[in-house]
Structure 1
């Protein structure tokens, strides 16, 4: 988990620096009407952080297997109204959520990393897998924002 923690700490510094280079208008551009803007992608990563922070905590506190609900990502981005927020506010939310995730991850006992988590209705994965997947998902979307 140290590798995940180190990468997350890297992004906690890098994302605010890189995202601050976009003007409000640049951050709001959509490649097509059905795609998210850079600001909405970062908002989606806030939604992912909200959902995964809960998962990481619940996996340490509830009986196994921990039932993990999926969420409707497009609805979350729409309902959270990220397009109406300023870039600095979205970035600040992302940063705060991920600082807490880094804190939680850093304090997970090794034996809890094996906790079985049932995602949706059909697959069971470990807490460790969920944490790794969270980072990979984040990095996938950060590439979309910063390329």
Structure 2
């Protein structure tokens, strides 16, 4: 779990610098009408953190396998209006939510990592879910934020 915590900490230190180096037009530009801007991608990462905080906690005390509920990612981004919100607000939210995730991970007992969740088509462990959270974050960061041509 230390690798996951270290990676999340790395992105918490790196992403604010990346965003602060971008012009407002670059941050707010939607490459296509149905594609998210850089601000909205960061907002989506906040939404992912919010949903996963809930999952990471509930899987530890609810009946197993804990059933993972999906959420409408586009609606979350639209309804929270990340496009019009100040970048600093979204960055601070990202930092706070991921600090909470690190706290949760740090307090999971070793046996808790093997707790099961139902992700729809199969069952996975809490450890897998934690790694998947980081993989999802890094997918968006590497493919959309750092290399905007692949957005």
Is TM more than 0.5 here?
Answer: yes
Equivalence for 2:141: 142
Q: What is residue 27 of structure 2 aligned with on the other side?
A: 27
Structure 1 counterpart SS, 2:124? strand
User: CA separation in 2, counterparts of 1:117 and 1:127?
Assistant: 7
Pairwise CA distance, 1:24: 2.2
Aligned residues: 146
CA distance in 2, matches of 1:72, 1:123: 20
Partner residue of 2:44?
A: 44
Output the CA distance in 1 between the equivalents of 2:43 and 2:121. 28
Question: Unaligned stretches of 5+ in structure 2?
Answer: none
Matched, 1:127 2:126: yes
Q: Partners in 2 of 1:17 and 1:104 — Cα distance?
A: 25
* Counterpart for residue 14 of structure 2: 14
**Any conservation in 2 of the 1:39–1:90 contact (CA below 8 Å)?**
yes
Partner residue in 2 for 1:2: 2
User: Post-superposition shift, 1:14?
Assistant: 0.9
The secondary structure found in structure 2 opposite 1:125 is strand
Moved over 2 A (4+): none
**RMSD of aligned residue pairs (Cα, Å):** 1.0
Task: Tell me how far apart the structure 2 counterparts of residues 123 and 22 of structure 1 sit (CA, whole Å).
Answer: 40
Equivalent in the alignment of 1:93: 93
Q: Which has the higher contact order (CA 8 A, sep 6+)?
A: 1
User: What is the alpha-carbon distance in structure 1 between the residues aligned to residue 16 and residue 63 of structure 2?
Assistant: 37
3-state SS of paired residue (2:60): helix
Shift of 1:106: 1.3
Instruction: Report the Cα offset of residue 99 of structure 1.
Output: 0.5
Q: Is the 8 A contact 1:24 1:86 kept in 2?
A: no
